[in-house]
Every structure is written in structure tokens, then in C-alpha cells.
A and B are shown apart, each in its own frame.
Chain A
Amino acid sequence: MLRKYKAAGVCMVLLLALCMLSGCHGTLTTKASIGTGDTAVPAQFDETKPIELVFWAKNDTNKVQTAVYNQAITDFEKLYPNVKISLRLYSDYSRIYADVITNIPTNTPPNVCITYPDHIATYKTGSDVVLQLDDWMRDSRYGLGGSEVKFDAPTEAEMVPEFLDECILDGHYYALPYMRSTEALYINRDLVEKLGYEVPDVLTWDFVWEVSEKAMEKDEDGTFRVNGQNVLIPFIYKSTDNMMISMLRQLGAPYSNANGEVLIFNDTTKAMLEEIYLHAKSRAFSTFAISSYPGNFLNAGQCIFAVDSTAGATWMGGEAPMQDIHASQLKLFNIEVRPIPQFDPDNMKMISQGPSICVFNKDDPQEVLASWLFVQYLLTNPVQLGYSETEGYLPVTLKAQQSAEYQDYLSRKGEDNDEHYAVKILASELLMHHTADTFVTPVFNGSTSLRSAAGQLIESACKSARRKQELNIPQLYNEVNSLYRLDQIEVIPAGEDAGTEETPETAEAEPVPEQELPDISKALLIALPAVWVLIGLYTVWEKKKNKRKN
């Protein structure tokens, strides 16, 4: 008997110990103090202390990009022999995001990470997780281009101001831009001209819709008259998120604000969706999610207008260095690169996109300083030029853009179909000449969901058209709202500075109304206990029966 108690006691102690361990993962609070990430810059970098940094980055399955990262690490380690950097490569940003948010609770995020500002807004919900860079950028010794920095880093004035401003979250810098791109309209000029049109310098939405609809005419044998093939999607947009956001911005219609208010469900959105629905119904328009990569159709002569990132320019054109379709399907044609379609050509708007670099706070200030120095190294000309020339990216520093090397690179446009592929350089120039026309959307915890919702509205409208269903806008708004939980995005009350150090007391400020459970949930909640009661009754009955038998 005593032994039984002993064993039970040991089990209880073990269980209690495990429970106590589990209790380490959080603290009860009604006010989430997120801190500002404002850590002081150390007076001196200790170059005798061994430091190990972890750097997470994305490459577009491009070996040259990987080589650029590795070269940057090697060169930096030569300058600072006490620092060792290990690189982990990812093939998409959502994986980096998932790994970062998993590692933050265990204090194991990387030191430096290439990511999107939308994601940084979520990382920042942790207390002092992301380093606030204001003081670090302006430090006279170790700041941008500071006196103690051992390499030719850009100064703040040498950064492209529009790109730098995109890294301001809640009134402070929490990142630096790494590469930038925008979207471009890649056009099969031959097909446009065959339809009796000239390609203007700036295309309007009306022009693109008109040409696309005209291209749908078929011959008696069922092939499309304009390309003589069985397949034609005149207009394909790769990122429907960007399509919706750009259209709204061009029309000055609301999308969201910095406080996290969702304003997308408005009449302008409705009108745009109705127009898109009509063109999807006639099959003159499709999206990447529904059809596939715009570049594949463009290069096969099965698409006239393809909107894709300028960073993807190396995949555009029959002679493009990167191809995703068989050589026998490729068509040679004259390709034009233009800004995305506009509502007002005199007031152009195009999205600015691309990865940024953020530094994660660590207990050791020397480790943070080493990370910061490495971030600066990623902004030096060799890295910026090396990476931007791999795809149609644009360097984020004026120093790199204005350098003789980059100017030479641009001037050699079309010399070959690889390093100097004309479409790639044209795409980079498009952003360089229109930097002032770019815009970004407000960033807050939940802005990623809103972006996805914007794209989903177009995807759903197109799918309704393809299924020959009516477009029910109120129902679509409801579905997308709940699909991306937009009603759960925390809105900072108007008048309150989005840059405050503490989030508002949500529980007290806005009590969440208790929702009534759906019938299925009620049935589940009744059925499960009821089944166990029945099992209990059956067990008792069985025991009694067995007793009687015996």
C-alpha cells in the first residue's frame, strides 16, 4: 500500500514540475507593453570578442544571389575577423516569417533577417524584439557611413529617401530597405499592333480592357484570330493583391490607414470588381492563381499584357535568360516594358515593393552592434550592385545607382540576353525613373491579412465569372472579411499616436461581444458529454450483467 502511495507521490511531483515548466511561457496582463526596441549604441566595438551571427535571407532559387550573400559574408568576416556569420537561405518570405514568429518566444530569432515591413509589424508586437534604428543610423561613429565603420557604407543622405521612408513603423525606423522593385506591364507589341493599336507610353485601364476584349475574336476554326492558337489570355495580372491596392490608390479610394482600420469594402472596390468580373467572364482577363505565371503565356505568344514584378523581368520575353516553358513553345516577339495601367496618366501611381532588413535585439550589445555593421555592409555598392543585377531589382542607395559601374551596366542594355538582358534593365530603369510615383500601404499588425484579402476579392470575382455564377458583392465582402479575420485586426483609436510605446487596453476599451455558437458547435458540445454519459451507463449495466452471471 505504502509503495503505491510512494509511486503516486513521485508521479504527482513529476507532473507538478512539468506544469511549472509549462507555466514559464507567459504572463498575465491586460496591457501588453511592447517596448520600443530602443537600445543604446555601444561606445566601442570590441573586435577581440568572438561573435557569432545568424543571418536569414531569401533567394529566388538563383545561385548568383546566393553567391552575392556568401561573398558579402566572406568580405565582412575579413574586415571583422572576430565575427562569424552563418547564412540560412529560404525560398519564400512566408517561411522566414513562420520561423521568426516561432523563434521569438524562445529568444532564438536570427540576428539579421531579410523580410517584409508587414511582417516586421508583427515581430514588433514582442517586447523590444526588433531593434529601433533611429539612433543607430545617426550615430557619428557606427551610424550610416560613420567614422569607425571599416567599409564604404552609404550615409543616410545617400539612401533613396522614398525607400527609406517605407521602413518607418510607428514613427521610427525598424528596418532598412535592401532591394526594391515595382510592377511593370510587359507587352507583346506585335499582337497589339496586329489588333490595330499603337502601344502608348502610359497605358490606361480602358485601353488595356479594350484591346484585351478585341483580342478575343476567333476564327471559324476556333483559334484566336490574333495569335492563331487555341489558347489566349489577353491580360494576366500576377499579384491580385497589388492589382486591387494599385487601382484603389490610383483612384484615391480608401484601403486602410496607419491605425489599422480596414476601409477596403467601399463603392469604388465594388465598381472595380464588377468591371473585372465582366472581363473574367469573357476570358479576356485572368490571374496567376487561376491560370499560371503570366510570363509563361506571354513567352508562348498566348498573352498580350502581363503584369509582374520588375524583379521578375528575367523571365519575360521569348529570349529571356530564365524560362519555365519548353523551348518549342517559345515565340519571338517585340516586347515593351511600361508602367502598370493607370486611371490618370498624368498622376501615375505604382506600388513599391521589395525586401527590407531588420536587426533583432539581443542581450549582448556587442552582438547587436556586429549585426548592425553587417546590415550596413549589405548596403555597400558591391552587394547592392551584385544582387540587383541578378534580377530586375533596383539598388536602394543613390550611391549605388549613381556609381560608374551601375551606369555602365545600364548603358550596356541589350548587349546580351543574360547579364545585360534588355527587358531586365528596362524594368530597373522603370522604377528608377518613377521612384517619386511609387507608394506603399500602411503597415500594422494585420496588414498582411488585409493585403491577402484585397487579392482574394479579385480572385473570387474571377472564379465566380468562370463558374458562371452571379457576382454577389455583399456576400463576397462578408466571406473575405471572415476568411482573413479582418474584423479581428486591432485598431488603434483615432487621435492616439500609432507610435506609442504601449498598446491600448483592448479588453477595457472595446469589449468583444460574445457570439452565439453555431448549431454545429452546439451539437458537438451536447453530443460529446452525452456519449460519455451513455458509455458510463453501458459500463455500469455491463458490470451488473457480469455480476449476475457470476
Chain B
Amino acid sequence: MKKKNNLKAWLYLLPAILFLGVFMIYPLIDVCIYSVEENYASIARTYTGIGLGNFRDVLSDRLFIQALKNTFILVAITVPVSTGLSLLIALGLSSIKALKKAFQTIYFLPYVTNTLAVGLVFMILFDKTEYTKGLVNLLLRTDIDFIDGEYWMKMMVTCLYTVWIVMPFKILILTSALASVNSEYYKAAKVDGASSARIFRKITLPMISPTVFYLIITGFIGAFKAYSDEVALFGTNLNAAGMNTIVGYVYDMLYSDTGGRYGNAAAAALILFAIVFTITYINLKFSRNKVQYM
């Protein structure tokens, strides 16, 4: 009877297993194989040898180094800034009663807005054209070319854009987490005369730490996968703009002017995987002692 049940269970799981196998496991193995096939020509379907040549090519490519640098800067700035700001806004939203719902809706709007539409708004804010200097330049009374100028100006716009795009989701999640903290703890703390800062450090933060931790992990992964935001701001030739990311580099390799360079694309994708996996593992490992799961 137990054997029969086991068989039934496997049968129920079969569609999911097949789906995962075809769309996740098989492509993953495929990527690993492509990454060691040197000089793989996608159209001729030939390669010249097996080895780590693709990794060497990618790691010595000036365009990959630029993409790597851009991605790391983006991650280092946007993840802490967006999480911190979201926490502040969520705390603010939790402590007000009037117009709470209206503010929540306003803060959530960028999340449901199309990335390219947001890009257009940023163009109006920052882009210098023959007709206008852009709203920000007009307000600041400056003449800075944010979209087509110096590297750090472009990076600043990218970071602002990314933070603005990712914040609504974080605010929503954090607002829910804050609402789920048992109010009895706060009452008890107040009776003991604890200050607001102490209440936040000793009660609020520990209670919502699993959520904060989840947002940090997903924030890291999302920021490492950045690409469409950069396209919305700087167009498809991100290399010429000096603003390409690792995912953008992989895409360029897949659709290169001389045919798909799958080997290089796979190698770059695996390097990205190694970086994301390592950072995620560190987060998981070292936050275990700090995060308090109820």
C-alpha cells in the first residue's frame, strides 16, 4: 500500500520535475558545457577545443571589466540605500493614521509603472536636449549633462532610478512586517520607559529582521541582474555609453554582430552566478545569528 502511495506521489510530482528538468536543470548544464567549449560558433555549431579559454577571454575583456565595475557600484549603492530608505518610509507610514492608505498607494505606484515609462520620466528630469536642459538642471540652475556626460553623473542617475524603482516593493513588504509586530511588546516597553530609538533597536528591528534580511538578499540578486533600467536610460548601446552591466554583457555576447558567442556568454553568466551565490551564501551564513525567526 505504501509503495503504491509512493508511486502516486511521484506521478503527481512528475509534471513539476519534468518542467524543472527541461527549463532549469537542462539549461544550467547546457550553460556549463557551453562555457568550456572554446571559440564556439553558434551558427556553424563548432568549437575548437575544451578548456577555460572562454573564462580567460571574458576576464580579460575591457568591456566585461567595465560591466563588472558598473554592476558592483550599482549593488553597493542601491541595495543599502533602497533598503534603508524603504525602512524609514515604512516606519513613517506605520506611525501615521490619516491618509495612510493614500500614501501607501502613492509609494507603490512606481512598482506598477512600466520600466520604460519611468525611463521616459527620468529623461525629462535629467536629459539635456537642444530645447531644454532638463528639469533638474533648471531647478538646480546647473548645466550638467547627466545622461550623456561624465561617468559619475550617469551612475548617479542610474542609482537614483534603480532606488526609485525598487523602493515601492520594499516599502509594501516592510509596512506589512511592521503591522504584524505584536503591539503588546510596545506597550510593555513604554511602561518600562524605553526611548523610541531603543524600542526600534530592541523590538522593531529584531521582530522584522527576517523581512529585512529577505529584502537584502533579493535586493542583492536583483541588483546583480540589472539591465533593463540601464537600457531605459541610455539606450541599447550600453557599451558605448560605458554603462553596461554583466547581464547586458551576456546579452551582447548572445547577439554579437559576428554571430552568437555562446561560450563567452555562458562564461560571463557563470561568473555572475558565482558572485551572486557567494554573496547570498555569506548573507545566509552570517545573518543566521542575527535574524530572529519567530
| A associates with B | yes
- Of the candidates A14, A483, A488, A525, the one whose C-beta lies within 8 Å of that of B21 is A14
A 1-58 contacts with B by CB, 8 A: 14-15, 18-19, 21-23, 25-30, 32, 34
25 A-B interface contacts by CB (under 8 A):
A15-B29, A19-B29, A19-B33, A25-B30, A25-B34, A26-B47, A28-B47, A34-B44, A101-B42, A102-B254, A102-B260, A105-B43, A105-B260, A286-B130, A292-B130, A445-B259, A446-B257, A483-B239, A485-B256, A488-B258, A515-B60, A516-B60, A520-B65, A531-B278, A535-B285
Shortest C-beta distance, B151 to chain A (Å), equals: 11
A517-B56, A535-B285 known; A29-B275 Cβ under 8 A: no
Closest to A516 in B: B60
Known: A23-B33, A101-B255, A535-B285. A517 touches B60 (CB 8 A): yes
Partner among A98, A125, A302, A528 whose Cβ is within 8 Å of the Cβ of B43: A125
Residues of B within 8 A of A426 (CB): none
Residues in B141-198 with C-beta less than 8 Å from chain A = 145, 148-150
Set A28, A291, A445: member contacting B130, Cβ < 8 A? A291
State which of B44, B145, B148 has its C-beta within 8 Å of the C-beta of A125: B44
Q: Does A211 contact B (CB under 8 A)?
A: no
B26 is an interface residue with CB less than 8 A from chain A:
yes
**Complex contact B59–A22 (CB within 8 A):** no
B257→A27 contact, CB < 8 A: no
> Are A446 and B258 closer than 8 Å at their CB atoms?
yes
**Contact-residue size bin, chain B (C-beta under 8 Å from the other chain):** 35 or more
A538 to B47, CA, bound (A): 41
Known pairs A467-B149, A483-B240, A520-B68; A32 contacts B46 (CB<8 A): yes
Task: Report yes or no: B257 in contact with A448, Cβ–Cβ below 8 A.
Answer: yes
Known contacts A489-B258, A507-B48; is A101 also within 8 Å of B29 by CB? no
CB-CB nearest in chain A for B40: A26
Q: Are B60 and A129 in contact (CB under 8 A)?
A: no
CB neighbours of A445 from chain B (8 A): 258-259
Is A190 in the interface zone, CB < 8 Å from B? no
CB distance from B37 to the nearest CB of A (A): 6
Q: Which residues of B contact A23 (CB under 8 A)?
A: 33
Chain A contacts for B285, CB-based, 8 A? 535, 538-539
Q: Is the CB of A29 within 8 A of B48?
A: yes
Contact with A along B35-78 (1 / 0, CB 8 A): 00101111111111110000010011011010011000000000
Contact for A18 among B26, B56, B59, CB less than 8 A: B26
> Any chain A CB within 8 A of the CB of B129?
yes
Known: A467-B149, A520-B69, A528-B275. A26 touches B43 (CB 8 A): no
**Closest residue of chain A to B60, judged by CB?**
A515
* Contact in complex: A449, B258 (CB < 8 Å): yes
**Also in contact, A452 and B257, with CB within 8 A (given A105-B43, A515-B60):** yes
Contact of A531 (CB < 8 Å), options: B40, B59, B129, B282: B282
Closest to B131 in A: A231
Asked if B281 is at the interface of the complex by the 8 Å CB criterion, the answer is yes
Minimal Cβ-Cβ distance residue in A for B239: A483
- Residues in chain A near residue B45, CB distance under 8 A: 25-27, 105, 126
The answer to whether A423 has its CB under 8 Å from any CB of chain B is no
B7 within 8 A of A: no
User: Is A524's beta carbon under 8 Å from chain B?
Assistant: yes
Cross-interface CB contact of A29 among B25, B46, B60, B254, cutoff 8 Å: B46
Query: A250 on the interface (CB 8 Å rule)?
Result: no
Which residues on B sit within 8 Å (CB–CB) of A29?
46-48
Taking the nearest CB of chain B, how far is it from the CB of A104, in angstroms? Answer: 5
Which residue of A is nearest B17, CB measured?
A: A14
Q: Are A122 and B257 in contact (CB under 8 A)?
A: yes
Given A19-B29, A456-B240, A518 contacting B60 (CB threshold 8 A): yes
Q: List B contacts of A489 (CB < 8 A).
A: 258
A297: chain B residues at CB < 8 Å are: 130
Among B49, B259, B285, the most chain A Cβ lie within 10 Å of the Cβ of B259
B274 within 8 A of A: yes
In the complex, A126 Cα to B258 Cα: how many Å?
A: 12
Asked, given contacts A467-B149, A538-B285, whether A27 binds B46 with beta carbons under 8 Å apart, the answer is: yes
Please judge, given known A-B contacts A449-B257, A482-B62, whether A28 and B21 are in contact too, CB under 8 Å: no
A389 close to chain B: CB less than 8 A: no
Q: How far is the CA of A456 from the CA of B240 in the complex (A)?
A: 8
Chain A interface (Cβ within 8 Å of chain B)? 14-15, 18-19, 21-23, 25-30, 32, 34, 97-98, 101-102, 104-105, 122-123, 125-127, 129, 231, 233, 286, 290-292, 297, 302, 445-446, 448-449, 452, 456, 459, 463, 466-467, 482-485, 488-489, 506-507, 514-518, 520-521, 524-525, 528, 531-532, 535, 538-539
Contact A125 B41 (CB under 8 A): yes
Complex Cα distance, B257 from A456, in Å, reads: 15
With a cutoff of 8 Å between Cβ atoms, the chain B residues found around residue A467 in the complex are 145, 149-150
* A98 smallest CB distance to B (angstroms): 5
- Which residues of A lie under 8 Å from residue B257 when comparing CB positions? 122, 446, 448-449, 452, 484
Residues on A with C-beta less than 8 A from B46 are 26-29, 32
Closest residue of chain B to A296 (Cβ to Cβ) is B130
Q: Cα distance A483–B290 when bound, in Å?
A: 45
- A51 and B125 CA atoms in complex are apart in Å by 54
Task: Tell me, in angstroms, the Cα distance from A18 to B25 when the chains sit together.
Answer: 8
Q: How far is the CB of B275 from chain A (nearest CB, A)?
A: 7
Q: How far is the CA of A98 from the CA of B149 in the complex (A)?
A: 30
> In the assembly, what is the distance between CA of A101 and CA of B145, in Å?
37
Which residues does chain B contribute within 8 Å of A517, judged by CB atoms? 56, 59-60
The chain B residue sitting closest to A122, CB to CB, is B259
Query: Given the complex of chains A and B, what is the CA–CA distance between A286 and B129 in angstroms?
Result: 12
Chain A residue contacts of B68, Cβ below 8 A? 520, 524
- Whether B60 and A22, one on each chain, are in contact in the complex, defined by CB atoms closer than 8 angstroms, is no
- In addition to A22-B29, A101-B260, 10 A-B residue pairs with Cβ atoms within 8 Å of each other are A14-B21, A27-B47, A28-B48, A28-B49, A32-B46, A105-B42, A122-B43, A514-B56, A521-B65, A538-B285
**Chain B residues, Cβ within 8 Å of A538:** 285
Inter-chain contact A518/B65, CB cutoff 8 Å: yes
1/0 per residue B250-294: CB within 8 Å of A? Answer: 000011111110000000000100110010011001000000000
